[in-house]
Copies of this chain bind each other. A is one copy, B any other.
Amino acid sequence: MATIKEIAAMASVSRTTVSRVLNNSGYVSEDVRKRINKVIEETGYIPSQQAKSLRTKKTKVIGVILPTIKTETSGRLVAGIDEVLSEAGYQILLANTNLDRQKEIEFLQLLKVRQVDGIILAATNVNDELVEKIKQLDIPFVAIGQEIQGIFNVLYDDYHAARDMTSLFVRKGHKRISFIGVDESDRAVGFLRKKGFLDEMNNNNLSVEDAWVEKGVFNIQSGYEAMARIIQNSTRIPTAVFAVTDRLAIGAMRYLNEHSYTIPDEMAIAGIGASEMSKYVTPPLTTIDYFNESVGHEAAKLILNRTTNHNKEFKKITSNYRLIERDSV
């Protein structure tokens, strides 16, 4: 691999001049420019991004921290981020925490060391240590999915989405509605979605039996088990179940199918996430599309805006959503 020095020598000019035609900055005569371009062409020379970054302090790399890379949600998010970023000549440096909180913090450090121009974090649980770390990092930062004071956020409207879905159940005539959530330390998925559900129930003067409210984790099996517990422990069996993720919903459906409950007649069900799967289960699942890809777009735009314009006023974007009514409710 040739260096700028060699190119300069071959074209009988100084490195400065070569650098000028590379970045077309400053004055270069047409003759010289041609001569240099010819040499560049012939040698297939490409300047080292490495050296350039060292000097300019810009890497054109954005770090993306994900709780997992295996899910569709993450995939769509990254695709969205990448679309905007690559358009602007940036690339993504991936950091997969596998839901390990300690790793989240380590990665923050690691990405800083690598001098990324910005960091996008798909957040799950936010703890003080993390927030503290983010703030002292002093790198353009965008958090997706969880609100963090004092930094840029792109949020899902978990509360209203949950209310809307609950409201749909109510409109369909359900009065005994059960709920499968996740731990409330996850403020967005755990706390806000549950609050949306409860508030809407309350709003309609509908009571919620304790046994109707169950908790799972982010996988299908967990939805299956939660549904089982609801059925087994309820004094009055509910007529509907609202699961806070599609996977939980699909697990629940599985339980219902295996135990011959007809959906939606004996038990209506809905999820959140608009996973591809949701469309092809039987019956097709009513769910909420969070437009992950466009959330990715927003996050990427935000971070670019922050890096290039040094925009400092913190911004919170709440993305919209769409309730997809299918046959499970």
Q: From B46, B93, B220, give the contact of A109 (CB < 8 A).
A: B46
Q: Does A150 contact B (CB under 8 A)?
A: no
A115 cross-chain contacts in B, Cβ below 8 A: 48-50
Contact of A280 with B250 at beta-carbon distance under 8 Å, contacts A49-B113, A69-B82, A93-B92 already known: yes
B96–A82 CB distance below 8 A: yes
Please measure, in the bound complex, the distance between the C-alpha atom of A78 and the C-alpha atom of B98, giving whole angstroms: 12
Please state if B94 and A92 are interface contacts (CB–CB under 8 Å): yes
User: Which of chain B's residues have a CB closer than 8 A to the CB of A59?
Assistant: 50
In the assembled complex, how far is the CB of residue A208 from the closest CB belonging to chain B, in whole angstroms? Answer: 28
Chain B: which residue is nearest A71 at the CB level?
A: B75
Interface residues of A in 13-63 (CB under 8 A from B): 46-51, 53-54, 59, 61
Given A277-B277, A280-B250, A280-B281: A48 touches B113 (CB 8 Å cut-off): yes
A86 at interface, CB cutoff 8 A: yes
Residues of B within 8 A of A68 (CB): 79
- Which chain B residues border A46 with CB–CB below 8 Å? 109, 112-113
Closest Cβ neighbor of A247 among chain B residues: B276
Residues of B within 8 A of A250 (CB): 280
Binding site secondary structure of chain A: helix
- Tell me the A103-126 residues at the B interface (CB within 8 Å): 109-110, 112-115
| A276-B74 Cα distance, complex, nearest whole Å | 15
Residues on B with C-beta less than 8 A from A229 are none
Contact B70 A75 (CB under 8 A): yes
Q: Provide the bound-state CA to CA distance between A53 and B114, in Å.
A: 10
Within 8 A of B (CB), among A268-312: 276-277, 280-282
A282 to B285, CA, bound (A): 13
Contact B96 A93 (CB under 8 A): no
Bound Cα distance from A281 to B278, whole angstroms: 9
B69 touches A75 (CB 8 A): yes
Complex contact A70–B72 (CB within 8 A): yes
Chain B, residue nearest A114 (CB): B49
CA–CA, A68 to B80, complex, Å?
Answer: 11
Contact A82 B94 (CB under 8 A): yes
Query: At the interface, yes or no: A95 with Cβ under 8 Å from chain B?
Result: yes
Q: Report Cα–Cα, A71/B112, bound state, in Å.
A: 29
